[in-house]
A = this chain, B = another copy of it.
Amino acid sequence: MTQPLRLGIAGLGTVGAGVVRIVRRQAALLEARTGRRIEISAISARDRSRDRGLPLAAYAWEDDPVVLARRDDVDVFVELVGGADGVAKAATEAALNAGKDVVTANKAMLAIHGQALAEQAEALGRSIRFEAAVAGGIPVIKALSESLAGNEITRVMGVMNGTCNYILTRMEAEGLGYNALFQEAGRLGYLEADPTLDVGGIDAGHKLAILAAIAFGTRPDFDGIAIEGIERISLQDIRQAADMGYRIKLLGVAQRSARGLEQRMQPCLVPADSPLGQLEGGTNMVVLEGDAVEQIVLRGPGAGQGPTASAVIGDVCDLARGFRMPVFGQPAISLRRAPAAIAGLPAPYYLRMSLLDKPGALAKIARILGEAGVSIDRMRQYGHSEATAPVLFVTHKTTRAALDHALREIEQTDVIAGAPVVLRIEHV
């Protein structure tokens, strides 16, 4: 008779409670599908007295996740504490050292300490699995590391922070400014304790670093990501992008070029009629491109109790079935340090500036762009009642360097008010 697989769960917030719920409710299904009983031995959380609507008395309680991680009756340590460092990392290391496998939803820890943890796990013959760390219920880690194992991955991109997408799509739908929707997202509990993790693009950046490591066989390199948040996206840009057939998304892109690994997490324009452009609200979407598979698109809930717990349990089931592979898809010691591509691949750009009402103003801007080698695909000047007129440009493909050169010159002229808005256009 096969032994049961015994879990120790640290962290009983939304996701942890969801995991306990599935293990209890679907015990028969899990056993039918994995051939083993899946049991909870012990749990740990910050507040023992809180009512989580679950009967927890049958499970041993540990105040300290590190102690939980080392318990003899735990086979798999489920880390749902969160945070890159501190107790989450200490308990993960303790679990590995004690011979346990680890399942975690902790994107910050993996993006920042993933390389060291993977080396430690693999040296000890243990697994770390983390489907829940990226895009909630969407099986993107498995698709990338297992289903597409025969592909040279060419590009990974996605909308991976539901809160940002919620704010951006509500701005367009309701005609409300960023600040009003940021406050609404806070009231609805959609923001992390430190909201810059969401709106600053950091949370999504952690996810991108993990995907890039698997996709390209490189060490997770969070510091190598060019990150820009959505805080400065105005309703005006959302409307004018829509007018040109685009939507603004906080888009992560990782791709390899001869110049190195390019990792960006920034607001971009995408065609309004593309799958990414049509993505509404808190839903996530990841696009995976490989030399053989061409392109697959995965869409689903990026957060929430059920979807995230579903991903955690999927990992637990893989361990129950005995599936073992290197943490990032190939041995950690073989992962290369990728040189960051400073200048991204050429792309079209959206530019908006406020032109002062002076003769020859537009001609001056157009001349500077032309001299910098930035060629204009489409231009629109809007009527104006005040002293400035909004002008939009969509450029042909250009390098960011050429564009920055032109923008520095433009800012030195006396024909524009304020700083130009520059957003990359990404075609899917």
* Residues in chain A within 8 A of chain B (CB atoms): 18, 22, 26, 29-30, 32-35, 131, 137-139, 142-143, 145-152, 217, 273, 275, 278, 290-301, 304, 306-307, 309-314, 316-318, 321-326, 329-331, 334
Contact = CB atoms under 8 A, between A and B. Distances in A.
Nearest to A150: B313
A394 to B, nearest CB: 24
Given A217-B32, A292-B306, A292-B310, A22 B298 contact: no
Contacts of A139: 139, 142-143, 146-148, 296
A143 B148 CA distance: 13
A70 B55 CA distance: 54
- Among A35, A299, A326, which residue has the most Cβ atoms of chain B within 10 A? A299
Given A146-B142, A150-B310, A324-B322, A294 B32 contact: no
B294 A307 contact: yes
A420 to B, nearest CB: 34
Contacts of A18: 292
10 contacts: A30-B150, A131-B147, A139-B147, A143-B143, A148-B314, A293-B301, A296-B298, A297-B298, A299-B299, A321-B323
Given A150-B26, A152-B29, A299-B299, A292 B318 contact: no
Contact of A317 (B150, B290, B310): B150
- Among A273, A312, A326, A334, which residue has the most Cβ atoms of chain B within 10 A? A326
A314 B137 CA distance: 21
A293 B137 contact: yes
CB-CB nearest 7 A-B residue pairs? A150-B313, A139-B147, A296-B300, A149-B317, A292-B310, A293-B310, A292-B306
Contacts of A33: 145, 149, 329-330
B143 A310 contact: no
Contacts of A137: 292-294, 296
